[in-house]
């Protein structure tokens, strides 16, 4: 009987390990995605900067065209100014030239402003580019590490499943059915070790008589509170 109890405890330990491994395995795609997301966000930021620079350069070119137009207009009005036949015409052209010169000054200010923004954005872009290269390399390394970890987890799961099958063969149908039923109903824990005089599962104190009975290890005993299979520490020690 003690052999069965030892195997039940072994089975419980294997199932605990399997649960941890399976959770890790399930969590892996989320972790890999998370890594990828950090990388993707940096790339998006980089693209946005590149796009901004392109737009700013377009704006700069348009302003240059505007500037040329104002210069041409000033030239035209200047020619007309000298050809003015009346004083009123002369004054009107002069006024027009003044207005266009003001417009020209505004465009020149804008050109400087846009150029400064381009220079700043280009500086930021350079910084982002080196950051992005770093993050991309880091991401690659980390994902490789996670994928290796994933392979190891799957290997460990396979190994545990093999050991589990061997234990199940030794246990036989009846003990296994009891184990599986309790495991299903008790959050994955069917076998507990009595700690002192308490159930190692629900932690309720067990009657001294019951503790003595469990110590005999002559059959499967159950905690009368949580219904789990209760094994005495002697069994666990003889297992080690």
Q: State the residues that interact with Zn ion by CB under 5 A.
A: 199, 201-202, 223, 225-226
How many Å apart are CA 74 and CA 148, to the nearest integer?
72
Distance CA 8, CA 191 (A): 7
The least CB distance from residue 222 to Zn ion, in Å, is 8
Nearer to Zn ion, 151 or 203 (CB): 203
For residues 8 and 107, which CB has a smaller minimum distance to Zn ion in the complex? Answer: 8
**Min dist. Cβ of residue 8 to Zn ion (A):** 15
CB closer to Zn ion out of 49 and 210: 210
Q: What are phi and psi of 222, to 5 degrees?
A: -125, 145
| Per-residue b or e along 38-63, where b marks 16 or more CB atoms closer than 10 Å to that residue's CB | ebeebeeebeebeebbeebeeebeeb
Provide the minimum distance between the beta carbon of 204 and Zn ion in the complex, in angstroms, as a whole number: 5
| Residue 147 vs residues 25, 30, 39, 157: alpha-carbon distances, Å | 10, 12, 17, 15
Query: How near is the Cβ of 228 to Zn ion at its closest, in Å?
Result: 5
Query: Which residue's CB is nearer to Zn ion, number 15 or number 97?
Result: 15
């Amino acid at each position: 009987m003690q052999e069965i109890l030892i195997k039940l405890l072994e089975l419980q330990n294997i199932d605990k390990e399997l649960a941890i491994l399976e959770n890790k395995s399930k969590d892996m795609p989320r972790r890999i995605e998370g890594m990828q997301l950090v990388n993707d966000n940096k790339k998006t930021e980089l693209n946005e900067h590149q796009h901004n620079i392109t737009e700013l350069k377009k704006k700069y070119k348009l302003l240059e065209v505007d500037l040329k137009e104002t210069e041409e207009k000033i030239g035209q009005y200047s020619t007309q100014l000298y050809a003015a036949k009346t004083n009123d015409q002369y004054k009107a052209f002069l006024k027009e030239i003044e207005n266009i010169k003001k417009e020209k000054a505004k465009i020149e200010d804008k050109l400087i402003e846009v150029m400064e923004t381009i220079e700043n954005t280009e500086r930021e872009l350079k910084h982002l580019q080196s950051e992005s290269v770093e993050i991309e390399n880091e991401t690659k390394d980390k994902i490789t590490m996670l994928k290796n970890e994933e392979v190891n987890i799957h290997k460990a799961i396979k190994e545990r499943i093999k050991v589990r099958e061997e234990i199940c063969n030794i246990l036989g149908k009846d003990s296994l059915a009891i184990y599986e039923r309790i495991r299903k109903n008790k959050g994955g824990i069917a076998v507990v070790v009595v700690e002192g005089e308490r159930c190692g599962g629900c932690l309720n104190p067990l009657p001294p008589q019951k503790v003595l009975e469990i110590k005999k290890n002559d059959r499967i005993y159950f905690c009368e509170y949580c219904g789990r299979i209760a094994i005495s520490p002697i069994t666990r020690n003889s297992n080690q």
